[in-house]
Amino acid sequence: MTTEPNPNAKAAAPQTAGNGKRKKALAILATTAIVAGLGWASWYLLVARWHEDTDDAYVQGNVVSIVPQTQGTVVSIDADDGMKVEAGQALVHLDPNDARVAYDQAVANLANTVRQVRGLYSAVESGNADLAAREAQVARARADLKRREGLVGNGAVSAEELAHARNELAVLEAGLRASSGNLSRNRALVDATTVSNQPQVEAAASQLRQAYLNLQRTAIVAPVSGYVAKRQVQLGQRVQPGVTLMTIVPLEQVWVEANFKETQLAKMRIGQPVKVHADLYGGDVEYDGKVAALGLGTGSAFSLLPAQNASGNWIKIVQRVPVRIEVDAKQLAEHPLRLGLSMHADVTVRDQDGAVLAQARKDAKPLFTTAAYEKQLSDANALIDKVIRENLPGARNG
């Protein structure tokens, strides 16, 4: 008996083989997904959750305005946009003629005042001598009067002569009182003083000091070292105190202001390390920085027109808070930044020991200071001392 072959057996064999390949592919896909999921979870738990980054970051810095301290006409401009200037360097010169005239008048006034005050001291000395002479005259007149009063009884001295002696004593006593008053007034002007610290001399010295400073301020100097930007002053311009002529940007003092979402600030602390990249240099240059301060308000809170959210069509928007990041000074010197450049900041938030708010400073030193104007005042004081010395007794002429 002959058995015929089953046609379904041939069709079942390929189907079984196809199901095996499909199951194998699905197993590989599932394994890949599980491995990827485990890898992502591991990356998040070990790395990603300890980092907060943003592209909403920009370079900020100090912009020092150059303003005149006195009015005048611009006769010289010694710096232009992009130039490097040093602290104390003259940037703009004003016409000094008016200030020079006022300065010469103040010098002459101080010299004249010193000589007048010397006269007050001489008046006190001569007043003392005059008072001593008048006291001697009064004493002699009193003795004469007393002697004549003893001789009136025996007729040796007439009553008329005695009256004349009394009148003479009265006149001398009046002169003594007048001399004593004049001496007291002169002493009041010079008591407990020297020529240099006598009030009239000090007033004249203050006028000279102000005139000297006004003359020096016709040369407008740079308070800090940096680069000139936004020059607006022109030759012949009549400038007034407080008007900005140009600005100076010290590029070594720049920092990065990164605007993080409010949801990114929970673990952010002062002092945490930051990796910063600039779009100017791309990924080839990486700056090391640290969180210097966390903003005390969102950008909208300090805007000129704050948002008004008490309205019926309110929509919640995630706010951003500025975070100040200090950048390594050595790296800034090697790869300088400009104000306003776009940056990318990545903060490592693993270290939670830092403070959220800055603590009070223990020292009282200023954060920024300048010594560009100190020499002007010291030179003015030296000039005053010189004028006083030249007008004291024994000073050489010429």
Closest CA to 211 of 379, 398, 388: 379
First to last CA, the chain: 155
C-alpha–C-alpha distance, residues 320 and 280, integer Å: 24
pLDDT of residue 15: 61
pLDDT of residue 398: 40
**pLDDT by 10s per residue, the chain, length 398:** 455 555 555 555 556 666 777 888 888 888 888 888 878 777 667 666 788 999 999 999 999 999 999 999 999 999 999 999 999 999 999 999 999 999 999 999 999 999 888 887 777 777 777 778 778 877 887 877 777 776 666 666 676 776 777 788 788 888 878 877 776 776 766 776 788 888 889 999 999 999 999 999 999 999 999 999 999 999 999 999 989 999 999 999 999 999 999 999 999 999 999 999 999 998 889 999 999 999 998 887 888 777 777 777 778 888 899 999 999 999 999 999 999 999 999 999 988 888 898 888 887 788 888 888 888 889 999 999 999 999 988 655 44
In this structure, is the dihedral angle defined by the CA atoms of residues 225, 231, 234 and 239, taken in order, positive or negative? negative
What token pair was written down for 393? 């007794």
What token pair was written down for 275? 């990796």
The 10 Å CB-count burial string (b at 16+, else e) for 181-198 is ebbeebeeebeebebeeb
The 10 Å CB-count burial string (b at 16+, else e) for 212-236 is bbbbbbbbbbbbbbbbbbebebeee
pLDDT of residue 229: 94
Largest Cα–Cα distance of the chain, in whole Å?
207
Cβ–Cβ under 8 Å, residues 381 and 213: no
Fold of 64-94+217-249: OB fold (Dihydrolipoamide Acetyltransferase, E2P) (2.40.50)
Homologous superfamily in CATH for domain 251-303+317-361: Efflux pump adaptor protein, beta barrel domain (2.40.30.170)
pLDDT of residue 118: 84
Cβ–Cβ under 8 Å, residues 321 and 260: yes
Instruction: Indicate the Cα dihedral angle 5, 8, 14, 20, nearest 10°.
Output: -120
pLDDT of residue 141: 78
C-alpha–C-alpha distance, residues 321 and 153, integer Å: 113
Closest CA to 110 of 190, 170, 186, 195: 195
The three-state (H, E, C) secondary structure of the chain, written as one string: CCCCCCHHHHHHHHHHHHHHHHHHHHHHHHHHHHHHHHHHHHHHHHCHHHEEEEEEEEEECCCEEECCCCCEEEEEECCCCCCEECCCCEEEEECCHHHHHHHHHHHHHHHHHHHHHHHHHHHHHHHHHHHHHHHHHHHHHHHHHHHHHHHCCCCCCCHHHHHHHHHHHHHHHHHHHHHHHHHHHHHHHHCCCCCCCCHHHHHHHHHHHHHHHHHHCCEEECCCCEEEECCCCCCCCEECCCCCCEEEECHHHCEEEEEEEHHHCCCCCCCCEEEEEECCCEEEEEEEEEEEEECCCCCCCCCCCCCCCCCCCCCCCCCEEEEEEEECHHHHHHCCCCCCCEEEEEEECCCCCCCCCCCCCCCCCCCCCCCCCHHHHHHHHHHHHHHHHHCCCCCCCC
pLDDT of residue 164: 77
pLDDT of residue 18: 64
